[in-house]
Structure 1
Amino acid sequence: MIGLPQSTEFNKRIPKQKFYENLTVSASLKQSFVDQIKTIYWRNKIAASTVNIAEGTDVEEIEVFEIKLTGENIDEGILKQMDKEIPYHILFLLEHEGKYQAWIGYKEEAQSGTSAFKVNSYYHTDWLQVDDLPVKMEGLSIDAVYENFVRQIAGDSLKASNQESLKDSVDRDNRRQGLQKQIDKLQQKVRKEKQLNRQMQMNTELKALNRELDELT
């Protein structure tokens, strides 16, 4: 799929129950697995052992999972649970009625010093034909391939300048999203506020937030 070398093909079906048998998984998340997922396939394994590129420093392998859905929506908790259970980086290809979405999380090692990972943000494409997905294996190391996957899928959200690292790009995007939420809430308050002096005060705050947002974009 997505033009990956034949040497990376794995093509193993994974029972979806494998991801929610854990007793700590909530009943609502288990139900999401049951209701939203038809089948899960482990399609590819991208590693130095399967492609002729250098090993990564931060990324050991990238697994490609195809998830066939019952509808167009997915509970993000499903992807987080799969990312939690599998100690490698994952590219998700969601399929519904012949169309695909590519999803990927910015996944990094937890600060605890264990082999655990945490996912800070997920990015995804629109629903497209599989050949139209903006996902290409590019890079001279596994780290570079992973970074390019994230940037390709995120698009303008992680558009970098001045050789910004992927982590810095993700942190900047998270700050941008947080500022936008603050701006949206404050704009709603301005519309509801009846006192002129209070409106003026909030508009001053809005201008400051918008300036800060402009600096991040």
Structure 2
Amino acid sequence: MNPCFAYPPATRFGRVIPKNKIYQHASATAALKRRFVALVDHIRWAHKLAPATLNLNPSPQVPEIQVFHLQLREPSVDTKILRAIDQAIPFPLIFELTCGERLLVAAAHKRPSEADKHKWVISEHFHSDWRPLETERAPLPVATSMDKLYEQLLSPLLPVAADAEDSLPARIDRTQAIAAQQRAIDRLQARLRREPQFNRRVAINAELRDAVRQLHQLNGPTG
């Protein structure tokens, strides 16, 4: 599914966001500021998707969705930069990253914290592949409410296919579990390569087989 959408003219915002505003609201460290300077040319608040601009029912979980354009100096997806912007902006965000003649769409799932309504819970970031900048954009998905629209904007970015009964949060949880399990497998494989003792290699191999089995279970029949 095409993750690049044609946002209606009524949603256009077009305001450049100074990086120091992000630094202030995200409590950016000196190292993070250097990453911004090295990788990001400028940040533009491109679109504001809201009940009034889209004629959709409001949602407490998704009051608005903001679309941010990041012009990059090199084609790198730095999730620390995306997380800092997400932490600074108290709305769900869709990122469009451009570098030269290429475009990539990224987003994390954001929801209000149940413990503190002034804070947001942010998942890991998911992203599309790089594609030509002139890629034809898909019409904005048909939805009746802001939360349903948000689900449809995020769905193409998730690497895990949707089952008939899967909710978006369930797909995100499974995607993150699969990524964590793959990291565990990578660590075991690295240990196996370094280990010279036969009996320890046997034990690591047993762990590795169990980890691979768990990964297959997480992937399910569509994996």
Query: Normalising to structure 2: TM-score of the pair?
Result: 0.86
Would the aligned equivalents of 1:101 and 1:133 in 2 still touch at CA under 8 Å?
Answer: no
Would the alpha carbon gap of residues 187 and 78 (structure 1) be closer, same or farther in structure 2, given more than 3 Å must change?
Answer: closer
Secondary structure at the aligned position of 2:5 is classed as coil
Secondary structure at the aligned position of 1:191 is classed as helix
Deviation at 1:16, TM superposition (A): 2.1
Deviation at 1:188, TM superposition (A): 2.4
Secondary structure at the aligned position of 2:53 is classed as coil
Aligned to 1:36: 39
Aligned to 2:176: 174
Deviation at 1:55, TM superposition (A): 1.9
The aligned amino acid for 1:152 is P
Aligned to 1:141: 145
Alpha-carbon distance between aligned partners in 2 of 1:109 and 1:173, rounded to the nearest angstrom: 20
Secondary structure at the aligned position of 2:110 is classed as strand
81, 92, 95: which one aligns with 2:95: 92
Identity between Structure 1 and Structure 2 (%):
29
Secondary structure at the aligned position of 2:154 is classed as helix
Aligned to 2:185: 183
Alpha-carbon distance between aligned partners in 2 of 1:88 and 1:180, rounded to the nearest angstrom: 31
Aligned to 1:69: 72
Q: CA RMSD in A?
A: 2.2
Aligned to 2:156: 152
13, 18, 21: which one aligns with 1:15: 18
Would the alpha carbon gap of residues 79 and 100 (structure 1) be closer, same or farther in structure 2, given more than 3 Å must change?
Answer: same
Deviation at 1:204, TM superposition (A): 2.2
Aligned counterparts, 1:76-115, within 5 A: 76-115=79-118
More RCO (CA 8 Å, sep 6+): 2
Would the aligned equivalents of 1:179 and 1:213 in 2 still touch at CA under 8 Å?
Answer: yes
Alpha-carbon distance between aligned partners in 2 of 1:4 and 1:126, rounded to the nearest angstrom: 20
Aligned length: 215
Aligned to 1:163: 165
Alpha-carbon distance between aligned partners in 2 of 1:188 and 1:135, rounded to the nearest angstrom: 42
Deviation at 1:67, TM superposition (A): 1.2
The aligned amino acid for 1:183 is I
Show CA shifts across 1:105-137 (max 9, x none). Answer: 111222432321131210111221245377653
Deviation at 1:4, TM superposition (A): 1.2
Alpha-carbon distance between aligned partners in 2 of 1:149 and 1:114, rounded to the nearest angstrom: 23
Alpha-carbon distance between aligned partners in 1 of 2:30 and 2:77, rounded to the nearest angstrom: 16
Alpha-carbon distance between aligned partners in 1 of 2:25 and 2:116, rounded to the nearest angstrom: 23
Show CA shifts across 1:49-88 (max 9, x none). Answer: 1012222242111111111111112432222121111111
Alpha-carbon distance between aligned partners in 2 of 1:22 and 1:64, rounded to the nearest angstrom: 18
Secondary structure at the aligned position of 1:132 is classed as coil
**2:53 equivalent to 1:50:** yes
Would the alpha carbon gap of residues 179 and 87 (structure 1) be closer, same or farther in structure 2, given more than 3 Å must change?
Answer: same
Query: Normalising to structure 1: TM-score of the pair?
Result: 0.89
